[in-house]
Structure 1
Amino acid sequence: MRMVKENNHNAWYLYGPLIGRTKQECVVESSIEKFYPQGSLLKSDIVIPNFLNLEILSSRFRITNIDEAIITAHVFIFQGSKVVFIKKLF
Structure 2
Amino acid sequence: MRVRIERSGGFAGIEEAVGEYDTDDLPEQEAAKVYEALSAIDAATAEGASGEVGADLMTYRIIVGNGAGRVYTVSDDPSSKAADPLAVLLRPSA
Q: TM-score under structure 2 normalisation?
A: 0.29
The structure, 1 or 2, with the larger RCO (C-alpha pairs under 8 Å, 6+ apart) is 2
- Higher share in strand: 2
